[in-house]
Amino acid sequence: MTNITVSTSELSRSYGARTAVHDISFELRQGEVLGLLGPNGAGKTTTLQMLAGCLAPGAGRIEICGIDLLERPREAKALLGFLPETPPLYRDLTVDEYLRFAARLHRVPKADIPAALERTKQRCGLADTGKRLIGSLSKGFQQRVGIAQAIVHNPRVVILDEPTVGLDPIQIREIRSLIRELGGKYSVILSTHILPEVESVCDRIQIMDRGQLVFSGDFAELKQAHPEQASLEEVFIHLTQQEEQA
């Protein structure tokens, strides 16, 4: 029981008349990396925003380490780290000032902040950029600051929304190995529409299409469920286009 870090049941959300997410239930265990896959507009970002508490669900429940996110948001959110699609960076602050602010916001005790900052910068490859203004950093470094912000308070669950978008191949590789490393300690949920990324970092995959989960399981289960498809790409196309024909 204790090693289930995220559990959602019958999560739904609509914008006006349009349903963005419909009836999503899943569980995530400690140390797992879950890849949320889907074409554009499938509802990945909406799902992640609901998990992070930035968006109130229309219906359903979310529990983070057994704490209800809607009833006890303060305690649940303290266990979460979130990197949205656009990293929420204040360009006028330096990396150190920004991370210190993020740590304070997440209630890291004052005495522990210098150590937390040092550790996080080390992990994210930001050791030499502490004094630089965020606005003057390259896109790849800004993305790293975004990830650093999400893990500075040692959360149990890390939620990353398209963490490798707009990076060069070397940066993508570095970020992926960072995600794998994070997966060893925390639970990680990441959304992407880059299939090789999922194959290289995720333990489990969930495929979403038009607001609904069309597949959920690990790679072995995926092979078992769809023996006629040779690769993840084919399964993905099969699952998301099948819906279209139906």
Partner 1 sequence: MIFTIAAKELKTLFASPLAWIILAVLECLLAWFFLGQIDAFLTVQPQLAALANPPGVTELIVTPLFGIAAMIMLMVVPPLSMRLIAEERRNQTMALLLSAPVSITEIILGKFLGLMAFLALFIGLTALMSFSLYSGAMLDLELLAGNILGLVLLAASFAALGLFISSLTSHPIIAAIGTLGAFLGLWVVDISARDPDSLLHYLSLLKHFESFNRGVIATADAAYFILFTVLFLVLAVRRLDRDRL
Residue 110 three-state SS: helix
> Binding string, 50-79, against partner 1, x = CB under 8 A?
--xxxxx----------------xxxxxx-
User: Measured from the CB of residue 217, what is the shortest distance to partner 1 in angstroms?
Assistant: 28
**Closest among 62, 68, 55 to 20, alpha carbons compared:** 55
User: Measured from the CB of residue 85, what is the shortest distance to partner 1 in angstroms?
Assistant: 8
Residues 101, 140, 212, 223: which binds partner 1 (CB under 8 A)? 101
Residues 4, 23, 31, 89: which binds partner 1 (CB under 8 A)? 89
Please tell me whether residue 102 binds partner 1 under the rule CB under 8 A.
Answer: yes
Please tell me whether residue 156 binds partner 1 under the rule CB under 8 A.
Answer: no
Binding part of the chain for partner 1, among 48-56, 60-68, 173-181, 215-223 by CB under 8 A, reads: 48-56
The C-alpha R_g of the chain, in whole angstroms, comes to 18
Q: Dihedral of CA 49/52/54/58: which sign?
A: positive
Please tell me whether residue 44 binds partner 1 under the rule CB under 8 A.
Answer: no
Please tell me whether residue 106 binds partner 1 under the rule CB under 8 A.
Answer: yes
Please tell me whether residue 165 binds partner 1 under the rule CB under 8 A.
Answer: no
Please tell me whether residue 91 binds partner 1 under the rule CB under 8 A.
Answer: yes
Nearby residues of 210 by Cβ (< 8 Å), 6 or more positions away: 41, 42, 43, 243
CB nearer to partner 1: pick between 55 and 194 = 55
Residues 39, 84, 125, 217: which binds partner 1 (CB under 8 A)? 84
**Closest among 82, 86, 15 to 51, alpha carbons compared:** 82
Sheet architecture: strand order including 80-83:
80-83, 157-161, 187-192, 33-37, 204-209, 212-218
Residues 88, 114, 166, 196: which binds partner 1 (CB under 8 A)? 88
Please tell me whether residue 192 binds partner 1 under the rule CB under 8 A.
Answer: no
Residues 5, 8, 129, 149: which binds partner 1 (CB under 8 A)? 149
Please tell me whether residue 86 binds partner 1 under the rule CB under 8 A.
Answer: yes
User: Measured from the CB of residue 92, what is the shortest distance to partner 1 in angstroms?
Assistant: 4
User: Measured from the CB of residue 46, what is the shortest distance to partner 1 in angstroms?
Assistant: 12
Strand partners, 94: 133
Q: What is the DSSP letter of 179?
A: H
Spatial contact of 169 and 90, defined as CB atoms under 8 Å apart: no
Q: What is the DSSP letter of 105?
A: H
The rounded distance, in Å, linking the Cα atoms of 178 and 147 is: 9
Strand partners, 67: 64
The rounded distance, in Å, linking the Cα atoms of 10 and 193 is: 23
Q: What is the DSSP letter of 94?
A: B
Binding site for partner 1 (CB under 8 A): 49, 52-56, 73-78, 80, 82, 84-86, 88-93, 97, 101-102, 104-107, 149
